[in-house]
Amino acid sequence: LSELEALMERMKRLQEDKEDEEASQEEMATRFEKEKKESLLVISGGICAFPAQFSFDDEIVSTDVSRYVEDPGFGYKDFARRGEDHLPTFRAQDYTWENHGFSLVNRLYSDIGHLLDEKFRMVYNLTYNTMATHEDVDTTTLRRALFNYVHCMYGIRYDDYDYGEVNQLLERSLKVYIKTVTCYPERTTKRMYDSYWRQFKHSEKVHVNLLLMEARMQAELLYALRAITRHLT
């Protein structure tokens, strides 16, 4: 099967498995922990921990971004160290954007919550209902996997989501691309962009980039707003 056909087959199989039998809460928690630990190994400091064919270090462009920022040393850091047995987890059910973050940010800055919420929803639901040459395709499962994988990299877990879907739908080269775009955007190369979903249209892959950026922004907001809530109470 081609990359596209294989992906569509996995999406179909996941839907059928979900209808037959849902994973237990314990199984879903275990799958999240596995995915969270693996995300720490995808890229760190520009080094890919996956096999050589997924390493793009040779094309990383050295750019001096320090002149554009006040703190040149500021940047992404993994939320936990490798090898730690108990990695910190942000349980989304304890502090969600819909139930907590939205109302707080509106209190802090009138109406900004409505604008942010509209932006998050628009990008999350953005789809042509196509996958390359295939039309009338429900891409909800795939979009959810992309969004939740970004939050997983930030230690955010949704209790009602089966992270086995992430492992099934997002191949390694795509995970490398996701973490680079989300955490180290200045290291993104055209080769990395071309390496995943080769049969997809550019416009569809742009949708992926938009979804990754909005997922990251929401993850950062959740941490910041939760800290403000704790301070206020």
> Residue 57: which pLDDT band, with cuts at 50, 70 and 90?
very low
> Residue 1: which pLDDT band, with cuts at 50, 70 and 90?
low
**Which residues, at least 6 apart from 162, have a Cβ–Cβ distance to it below 8 Å?**
18, 22, 23, 27, 28, 31
For residue 211, pLDDT over 80 is answered with yes
Q: What is the mean pLDDT of the chain?
A: 85
Mean predicted confidence (pLDDT) in 212-229: 97
Percent of residues, the chain, with pLDDT higher than 70? 85
Mean predicted confidence (pLDDT) in 81-90: 75
**Over the stretch 102-157, which tens digit does the pLDDT of each residue have?**
999 999 998 999 999 999 999 999 999 999 999 999 999 999 999 999 999 999 99
**Which residues, at least 6 apart from 135, have a Cβ–Cβ distance to it below 8 Å?**
129
Ranking 46-50, 156-160, 177-181 by mean pLDDT, the lowest is 46-50
> Cα–Cα distance between 149 and 179 in angstroms, integer?
9
- Residue 136, Cβ neighbours under 10 Å: how many? 7
